[in-house]
Amino acid sequence: MTALRMLLEGLAQAPACLVEVESTQGSVPRERGAWMAVSGQGLVGTIGGGHLEYEAIAEARRRLACSEDSGVVRYPLGPSLGQCCGGVVHLRFTCVTAADAPALRTRLVQHFTPVALFGGGHVGHALARTLAPLPFALTWIDSRDGIFPDPAPDGVECEHSDPVQAAVPLLAPRSRVIIMSFSHAEDLDVVAACLKRQRTRGDLPFIGLIGSKTKWATFSHRLHERGFTPEELAQVTCPIGVPGIGGKEPEVIAVAVAAQLLQTLHPPT
């Protein structure tokens, strides 16, 4: 989101050439949808670096200089580019101006994965900052007033919801949900709302709850009393964060949770 903000702000000053990975074959530096923008003011984003990016920057500058229409160029990643990936990348080049900014933002945001973060405490603040430059579209939710920073981190949508669990049915499909509110009662209500949504829609790939194994044992008992089955409870991850990262500082927890969210995008093989 930081790169996207820089692109949109830069377009207010000068046009740019947007370079997007249109398609790929074989081993390549970046995935479909990756992008960079080249302007007279510099470079924003990356399509993977190396000689491929060097050639793409030169092509973007050429097109920008002559306002050439958009087009796709094929780049084989072999000896001619000084790269040994062995794959093929098709890059789309599009010259854009300030008039294109609204549509451009809508289109590029589609490549971000929605995340719903419940809780504006110390860990919530650290996690929001950590997620801001990553490929996530973050909705940050709390039941309290005056809890969010002003301004909010880049690309973060802050939402007040009282009761907080009322926000769950409105989350974007395929949202990853992280629950770390200021009270266990709110946490329990949000988890229950997520599981109810899973019963009818099944569109929340990750439901994570901050806390210990003891906390989850208590929550499991209470959720079972509310009618949720063991199979449904198994959809909740608690504790959260990739294992092996020690420390309970908010920033350390945020890194561990962010890494876990990234694993949901590209599970380890």
Single-letter amino acid, residue 227? G
Q: What is the pTM of this model?
A: 0.80
Q: What's residue 81's pLDDT? A: 61
Whether residue 29 contacts residue 47, with contact meaning beta carbons closer than 8 Å, is answered with yes
Phi, psi angles (nearest 5°) of residue 57: -65, -45
Q: Which two tokens stand for residue 216?
A: 């989850």
CA dist 1 and 156 (Å) reads: 9
- In whole angstroms, give the CA distance from residue 33 to residue 21: 5
DSSP the chain: -HHHHHHHHHHTTS-EEEEEEEEEESS-SS-TT-EEEEETTEEEE-S--HHHHHHHHHHHHHHHHHTPPPEEEEEE-SGGGT-----EEEEEEEEE-GGGHHHHHHHHHTTSEEEEEE--SHHHHHHHHHHTTSSEEEEEEESSTT-S-SSPSTTPEEEE-SSGGGGGGGSPTT-EEEE--SSHHHHHHHHHHHHHHHHHT---SEEEE-S-HHHHHHHHHHHHHTT--HHHHTTEE-S-S-TT----SHHHHHHHHHHHHHHHHS---
Which residues, 6 or more positions from 30, have their beta carbon under 8 angstroms from its beta carbon?
21, 46, 47, 48, 89
Count of residues in the chain:
269
pLDDT for the residue 135: 87
Burial group, residue 143, by CB count within 10 angstroms (0-12, 13-18, 19+): buried
Q: What is the pLDDT of residue 109?
A: 81
pLDDT tens digits for 162-211? 999 999 999 999 999 999 999 999 999 999 999 999 999 999 999 999 99
Cα 131 to chain centroid distance, Å, stands at 7
Whose CA is closest to 236, among 183, 164, 177, 168?
177
Phi-psi bin for 202: left (phi > 0), alpha (psi -120 to 50), beta? left
Residue numbers in the chain where pLDDT is lower than 70: 1, 79-85, 267-269
Give pLDDT, residue 164: 96
Query: What pLDDT score does 182 carry?
Result: 94
